[in-house]
Every structure is written in structure tokens, then in C-alpha cells.
Structure 1
């Protein structure tokens, strides 16, 4: 058994975040086709408020690997989840403070659709 076969493969969570961004672009692009720019950028921001914290979480949690790094993995998991929560709150606040005009229905619907992509991740990332 070589050293290469003993290594664990890293999870393919980047596929999930990539799919979230793709869905965001698809939905906001569809809204742009309606000719309503406010609808389009509101959708874009809704999807990105969901995707960006997930990208940060994936980057932080899967930085460490292996049984010897188990304590580091657990620490990074809890820290990344806390920062992800805070980052989501900050991004929500920034959008609602800085983006005028904003279509909140489009914003929240796209956020929800992109979140559902995250929930369906086991179908995207095979075990």
C-alpha cells in the first residue's frame, strides 16, 4: 500500500458552493431577462449573501486533514460556523443599509433557493 492510497480525499464541498453561485447567476440572469434591473441585482445579492459565508466555512473547515489534526478540525469547525453566522448577519445588514432600491421579495426568495441547494448537497456530493 503506497502513501498515496493512505491519504483521504478532501470533501468536494467546493462543488456545492459553485452550484450555489451558478444558481444565483441563473436566477439573477433570468430576472435580468425580464428587464427589471432592481429585481436582477436583488436576486444576485440574495444568492451571494447565502453563498459567500458558505465559501468561507468550507475554506476554513477543510484546511486541516487527518487524524492527527482532529483537534484542529473541531476547533476550525466551531470557529468557522460562528464566523459564518456573523458574516451572514453582516452581509444582510450591509445589503439592507447600502442597496437602494432593493426588491426584498426577490432578495429573500433567491436566498431561500440558494439555501435549498445547500440542503440538497448530499445529492451533489456523492459519498
Structure 2
């Protein structure tokens, strides 16, 4: 069975965010590097959870379970995202909030672009 596109997208997001964080760290911006990595991870990891949860089963006979898994995956993704932001902002000091939100937003845009490309 092939991996769901959601998992591929999450992997690409994590790789790109890791590279961006490494470059920032190399140029002497460790706080920004950590903030960029965390923002991207707050987007990619809940997406990976959704992919694992939603695509657990397939087939016409399992249609009810598939739909339940999609709903549970989406609720879990939402809870993980909210909890992740709360934990990051409450426990990570120093932090660059702008870098967290920009990285998160760019990962969401990347997710849309990759999903559109993989669907074709």
C-alpha cells in the first residue's frame, strides 16, 4: 500500500523547515532557528497524525469507519495544533513569535500547493 499524500506532504514540510532552521542557526540566529522549526513542526506533525488516522482503513465496506476516522483525525489535528501552540508559547523561552507564525503560515501554504500538485 502506498503512503497517503498527507504523509508525504508532512515529510516534505519537516525537511524544508529543518533546512531553513539549520541555515538560520548556521548564520548565528539560534532563537529564530528554533522558532522557525517549531512553527513548521506545529503544522506538519498534526497533519501527519491526520494522515495516519484518516487513511487507516479503506474500501466500500468500511465506509462508516473511514468517515469516522476522518472526523477523528481532523479533531485530533485541531487539538494537537492548539495544544502545541500553547505548550510552545508557555514553555519555550526565548522565542520569536513572528518566526513561529510565519513558519506555520508558510507550511500551510506549502501544504496547499503540494496537495494541489499531488492531486493532479
Asked whether the two chains share a fold, i.e. TM above 0.5, the reply is: yes
Of residues 88, 109, 112, the one that matches 2:105 is 112
TM-score (norm 2): 0.92
Where do 5+ consecutive residues of structure 1 fail to align? 1-7
Aligned residue pairs: how many?
119
Of residues 22, 28, 31, the one that matches 2:15 is 22
Of residues 21, 27, 30, the one that matches 1:37 is 30
Q: Which residue of 1 aligns with 2:54?
A: 61
TM-score (norm 1): 0.87
* Aligned-partner Cα distance in 1 for 2:54–2:98: 32
| 1:31 Cα offset (Å) | 1.4
- Alpha-carbon distance change, 122 to 45 in structure 1, aligned in 2, over 3 angstroms: same
| 1:79 Cα offset (Å) | 1.0
User: Would you say 1:100 and 2:93 are equivalent positions?
Assistant: yes
Tell me whether 19-28 or 35-44 shows the greater mean CA deviation.
Answer: 19-28
* Aligned-partner Cα distance in 1 for 2:17–2:92: 18
